[in-house]
Amino acid sequence: MAKVLVTQQIGDEGVQKLREAGHVVTYRDDTEPMTPAELQTAVRHSEGLVCLLTDRVDTAVLDAAPNLKMIANVAVGYDNIDLAAATQRGVLVSNTPDVLTETTADHAFALLLAIARRIPEADAFMRADKYEKFEMFPPLLGLDVYGKTLGIVGLGRIGAAVARRGALGFGMKVLYTATEAKTAVEQELGAERVTLPELLRQSDFVSINVPLTSETRHLFTLDTLRQMKPTACLINTARGPIVKEADLLTALREGIIWGAALDVFEDEPRMVSGLAQQHERLVVAPHLGSATGETRRKMVDTAVTNLLAGLSGQTPPNALNPEIVGQADE
Ligand code: DGY
């Protein structure tokens, strides 16, 4: 039996599963993250921690929780957790891959289509009662998607799922960047691995699907955006800080790129000043990549399954530092 802190609202099912396993759960049924000081206090006696991507689990939090054995992040991205520091302290960390792959790829593609065909602008146009006549060349002319070139920055699970939609559903040529060649995806989709400058030079749509790391922070600046075609669109469903948002705004205002669709922001939940006022050729959504009821429930269940395994001394199915398991007993 372990003391478990659930930092934010995850729904009753997951909490019940933890309690049924005999753990003593402190459930903060709240949609606001705690302040760093509150989190440090709340986690003090915990052995297990279930947290969201808006909880920053840094060295201060880890140091405040001397009994902590396992952190289960309810997200696939884990840039909110200092994994190296957790590993050093013998704390297991897990994430929730796979269950959200297709859902997030659907959302990336929804954004791609929405920006290409200017759906939010069209919706606003209708609601403002501006549709007076059919025109051959209306103000809201969009871009073709079918048969265009799709550049995937980071061909991991989600990147490959986006690539599949593009290649198989929309006849797109797929280019990608990755630290190593993905031969299975190359064979399946005819995808081609290229350098980032080459991908930017050739792609009509650039989808960001890399995790946020020190290497990918501000990967997209004005300099990068200038390497894209002026007719190209950028889609970001990964993490906000990969794109320097002020530079993207400049690129949109100056027509350096054609459009952008963003699900994530540099300083969430805020957007950089001026972005909200950019109505043309910009689609924004509040971090909804994995946000379907089914998938969010699967994510919670995956995190809870991981935590239960870790707390009972087994290797969690999605452990990010499995080398920790059994270390304390050696
Ligand atoms: C993740 O899991 O990392 C997404 O950003 C939220 O679903």
State in Å: Cα 227 to ligand 1 middle: 28
Q: Count the neighbouring beta carbons within 10 Å of the beta carbon of residue 202.
A: 17
* 100 Cβ below 6 A of ligand 1: yes
Beta strands, E only, 86-185: 92-94, 149-153, 173-177
* 248 Cβ below 6 A of ligand 1: no
Residue 3 pairs in a beta bridge with: 24
Domain ranges of the chain: 3-97+293-329, 101-284
**What's this model's pTM, rounded to 2 decimal places?**
0.97
Local structure of residue 87 (DSSP, 8 states): H
Q: Which atom of ligand 1 is nearest to the CA of 291?
A: 7
pLDDT digits (tens, 9 = 90+) for 74-115: 999 999 999 999 999 999 999 999 999 999 999 999 999 999
Determine contact, residues 2/48, Cβ cutoff 8 Å: yes
pLDDT digits (tens, 9 = 90+) for 200-225: 999 999 999 999 999 999 999 999 99
* 289 Cβ below 6 A of ligand 1: yes
* 53 Cβ below 6 A of ligand 1: yes
pLDDT digits (tens, 9 = 90+) for 158-209: 999 999 999 999 999 999 999 999 999 999 999 999 999 999 999 999 999 9
With b for 16 or more beta-carbon neighbours within 10 A and e for fewer, the 166-196 pattern comes to: bbeebebbbbbbbeeebeebeeebebebbee
In the predicted model, what is the mean pLDDT of residues 298-314? 98
What pLDDT sits at residue 208? 99
In the predicted model, what is the mean pLDDT of residues 129-135? 97
Count H helices and E strands in the chain, helices first: 13, 12
State in Å: Cα 290 to ligand 1 middle: 6
In the predicted model, what is the mean pLDDT of residues 288-304? 98
With b for 16 or more beta-carbon neighbours within 10 A and e for fewer, the 113-152 pattern comes to: bbbbbbbbbbeeeeeeeeeeeeeeeeeeebbebeebbbbb
Kindly state the percentage of the chain with pLDDT values over 70.
99
Token pair in block for residue 321: 């530092």
Catalytic residues: 239, 268, 287
Domains 3-97+293-329 and 101-284 share a fold: yes
State in Å: Cα 125 to ligand 1 middle: 32
For the cut 70, the answer to whether the pLDDT of residue 140 exceeds it is yes
What pLDDT sits at residue 326? 76
In the predicted model, what is the mean pLDDT of residues 137-142? 97
What pLDDT sits at residue 330? 45
Q: Does domain 101-284 have CATH number 3.40.50.720?
A: yes
**Rounded Cα distance, 113 and 271, in Å:** 22
* 74 Cβ below 6 A of ligand 1: no
Q: Count the neighbouring beta carbons within 10 Å of the beta carbon of residue 231.
A: 12
For the cut 70, the answer to whether the pLDDT of residue 56 exceeds it is yes
Token pair in block for residue 185: 């995806």
Give the residue, by CA position, lying nearest to ligand 1 atom 3: 77
What pLDDT sits at residue 328? 54
Confidence of residue 302 (pLDDT cuts 50, 70, 90): very high
Q: Which CATH architecture has domain 3-97+293-329?
A: 3-Layer(aba) Sandwich (3.40)
